[in-house]
A and B are shown apart, each in its own frame.
Chain A
Amino acid sequence: MSRNEAVTPPPVSDVGPDLGQAADALWCLVWKSRLTVRRLPRMIILVALLPLLALITSSDSHIRGFLMIALNFHLGIVIPLVCLIQMAAPIRDEAEQGTLPFLATRPLPRTTFFLLLHGCHLLWLEIVFLVAGLLLLAAGFYLEVPDITEMIGPFLLAQAGALVAFSGLSALIGLLTRRYLLLGLLYGSVIEVGIGGIPTNINVLSLSHHVRVVVSVFDPADLFLRSNSGTALISGLVLIATGVIAAVLAALVYRGREFAGGPDA
């Protein structure tokens, strides 16, 4: 069959897909790879773990325990660590699996491709954590934590902002070095836990600080957390801006770097 006899109706774009098309295609790849029957049990366990933990820790001081899990543990440790593990290496993962050539040889500028892939992975993470967050809040409702309904907005916003910020940062670290896990942990210990946990002028360098500020719109959180002085709106913008800027920088790094493997076997 010659090319002139091709059956298909409209001609292919001369340059490549538009942004929406490309985003849609990558999103399909991402969610269909993640949401499989094989992975479903693991995902359910991960999503339900913290709410279950919150339920079984109910005791006389269950409010403190719940806030500790939801604010300190979930927002302050789980989200950054999951972002570091999942978002630092989408390109490296594809390269390691050997599937990057299928994607990197499509007619997309490298920066666009990276940003769209990052966006799709981030969207997936936001959806998963939205479910996890709602389950956690449901556990709080069951435990009769006072004013839990007022916590929904600040908590989910803080969570969303934290995911954007830490994802962007993780993506940048992941592209800069292969030892991104260790570098990320070092950053986390020094900046997020170290500087962020101490009330100084420079604790604004810590993203966790800004997350705490956003969630502290909820008064019990404000009383529970330390080192959370600041304006929620500004902190929210800081989180979004950090995530976006870091992602753009990562895209620029990807534009100049190769991930196609070493010499011939």
Chain B
Amino acid sequence: MTPIIQAKGLSRFYGIVMGLNNVSFEIGDGLTGLVGPNGAGKTTLIRLITGQIRPSAGDLLVFGQRPWNRPDVLRRIGYCPEGDAIHGELNPIDWLVSLGCLSGLNKATALARSVQMLDRVGLEAAHRRKSVGRFSKGMKQRVKLAQALIHEPDLLVLDEPMNGLDPMGRREISDVLLKLAEGGVHILISSHILPELESLCSQLVMMNWGRVLAAGSQQHIRNDLHTWSERVTIRCDQPSVLARHLLDGGLIRGFEIEPDSDAVILTLQDPPDFYRRWTQVVLESQVAVFEIRSETRSLNQIFERVTT
């Protein structure tokens, strides 16, 4: 299947400052998360994808074509930028209608879709005739998302879409994005809120220092980290007994018993083998297990691991 976004040796410089350095990756369909700290190159990459800037070297294809000055490519992209800025003097309906018309909708369609999209992003009707400049950050974020959706793009590019939203708002937007993805829209989300990306995105692109450090599914990335020893914490009544049994069984490489607690931190030898056989070993040890926690399955841990 043709990737939605393809980068080959892509570089982008701002004078002597390096935004992106010789990155190559492919982004397929579905929900993809773009992860990286400040200055990693995420916004630069997003600007390249949305045709706002051009590469200094290499190539970037979106739907098989370069996006710079290509209306046919831009027609299929919906973009929600990060900043707070918005045409503040207009009310959201007028603003969305104008942007919808600029995207190729006729006025009646744009008006209908504006209302529909504002319903979808959860902006209450009472606010729809006020000027956007008076909105809170969260309300502006919803309106920005609505303008990205108004022309039903095939690729949705969202730069920090959850900024300014309360937890309920984030949940609502996440639901919207999941439904869009189910409906066949390809979504690229850049975010710092790693737990949300973890639940939303099947694919990840991890960036730092202008480079793509890892790309693919979370599992794929984790499997690629050969030298990475997964760690598991088990709380039980006899940590030392359990640890000895697991060590004798060849399931762990090492362990550490937390002082003044009933927990043992295990460094696994072979994670799949451990998860297949550990219950048997626990039964044999006759140790009562209260809690088992893998500290290495979270996106946060993967990211920290990849970027250090």
Contact = CB atoms under 8 A, between A and B. Distances in A.
A and B touch in the complex (CB under 8 A): yes
Given A21-B101, A32-B94, A98 B84 contact: yes
Interface residue SS majority, chain A? loop
Interface string B87-111: 1011000110111111111110100
B19 interface: yes
B52 A105 contact: yes
Nearest to B40: A264
A135 B79 CA distance: 45
Interface core residue of A5, A99, A260 (most chain B CB under 10 Å): A260
A98 B83 contact: yes
B72 interface: yes
A29 B90 CA distance: 8
Given A3-B184, A106-B74, A17 B101 contact: yes
Contact of A103 (B72, B94, B102): B102
Interface stretch (B22-30, B112-120, B242-250): B112-120
B116 A107 contact: no
Interface stretch (A8-16, A169-177, A214-222): A8-16
A157 interface: no
Interface stretch (B42-50, B230-238, B264-272): B42-50
Contacts of A32: 89-90, 94
Interface residues of B, number: 59
B147 interface: yes
A261 B87 CA distance: 18
Given A36-B89, A98-B85, A25 B179 contact: no
B152 interface: yes
Interface in B122-157: 131, 147, 151-152
A178 interface: no
B177 interface: no
Given A9-B109, A24-B101, A264 B38 contact: yes
A107 B153 CA distance: 11
Nearest to B77: A105
Given A36-B89, A105-B77, A25 B102 contact: yes
5 contacts: A25-B101, A106-B99, A264-B38, A264-B41, A264-B42
Interface of A: 1-10, 12-17, 21-22, 24-26, 28-29, 32-33, 36, 38, 97-99, 101-110, 255, 258, 260-265
Which 9 pairs between the two chains have the least Cβ-Cβ distance? A98-B85, A2-B183, A25-B101, A13-B104, A107-B75, A107-B71, A260-B52, A106-B102, A3-B183
Interface of B: 14, 17, 19, 38-44, 47, 50-54, 69, 71-72, 74-75, 77, 79, 81, 83-87, 89-90, 94-95, 97-107, 109, 112-113, 116, 120, 131, 147, 151-152, 179-180, 182-185
